[in-house]
Structure formats: structure tokens, C-alpha cells
Amino acid sequence: MANLYELVGNLKEFEHFYNDAETDEEMLEAEKYLVEAEIELSEKVENIAKFIKNIEAERDVFKKESDRLASKAKTLDNKVTSLKRYLQESLVFAGVDKVKGEIFTVALQNNPMSLDISSIKFIPDDFKKVPDPVVNKRELLKHIKETGEIFEGVEIRQTRSIRIR
């Protein structure tokens, strides 16, 4: 079977046969050629769609397994966090900053200083960042659809994609 590119080319070739046909017999032959090309194209497209669905199914299996493993990793992260908290609380309660073992040394240490800000209004402007403005594209598109007004620097585009049902 020909590849998709060749099959599409065959359909273009049909236009030439059909346009150049001068007799009824030549027209019938051109139409026969079209039917064969359309059947081959239909089969090729159907096979590619099946292949896509198989790949999507395989991807879904990997995604499901990835989610399962991520969940397992998250459970282990939670256990580590819980054990570290338990160890820290125990050392603090015992008043011990450092325990030296045969393999590991466990010590309480100070983390870098950080800030908790309860009200931004008392902070001088020198320490505030103003974020860049963000365009609400959904609202802008709605406005353009309703009014037809297109602003400079805005371009509307309509794309197409394949849907396999």
C-alpha cells in the first residue's frame, strides 16, 4: 500500500485526469481511478487512526503506572518528613543538639533566616515588586467576538487539529 503522501498525490492526479478527459470513456476511467484512490486513502487514514489509538492506549498505561509510582514516592516522602519531625521533636524535648552514632551524626542546626509578613502596607515601596501586567486573553477574545474591535498588537488566528472519534 502506498504511503499517505502518495495517496494524497494520487487524488491531485485525478484532477488532471478528469480535467483532461475528453470522452465518456476517459471520464469513467478517471472516476474509477478516483474511487480506487479514495478507498486506499480511506484505508490508510483508518490504519493511521488505529495506530494513534494504540499509541494513546500505551501512553495511558505508562501514565497510570507513573501516577502509581508517584503516589508511592509521595507516601515515602511523607514517612521521611514524619520521621524527621519525630526525631527533631525528641531531640528538642531531650534538650540535646547533637547525637553521634557509629554511622550517622544527627544534629539540630539553625536554618537561614526567613520572613513572615502579616501586612504589606507597612513595608517601604523600595522592597516591593510590581508584577508585569497580564492580559486576560479569554475576556479579550470575548470582547473581540462581541464588538469586532481588534487592538493593535493583537492577532487572531484559527488553527485546526485532528479529532479521532
Give residue 162's pLDDT band: very low, low, confident or very high (50, 70, 90): confident
User: Which among 66-80, 94-108, 114-128 has the top mean pLDDT?
Assistant: 66-80
Residue 14, pLDDT above cutoff 70 = no
- Taking only the tens place, the pLDDT of each residue in 32-62 is 777 777 777 788 888 889 989 999 999 999 9
Residue 5, pLDDT above cutoff 70 = no
Give residue 102's pLDDT band: very low, low, confident or very high (50, 70, 90): very high
Give the three cell numbers for residue 112. Answer: 537561614
Residue 83, pLDDT above cutoff 90 = yes
10 Å Cβ neighbour count for 87? 13
Task: Quote the percentage of the chain above a pLDDT of 70.
Answer: 92
What type of residue is 54? Answer: N
Give residue 1's pLDDT band: very low, low, confident or very high (50, 70, 90): low
Domain range annotation of the chain: 4-108
Residue 94, pLDDT above cutoff 80 = yes
Residue 6, pLDDT above cutoff 80 = no
For residue 145, the Cα-to-chain-centroid distance in whole angstroms is: 27
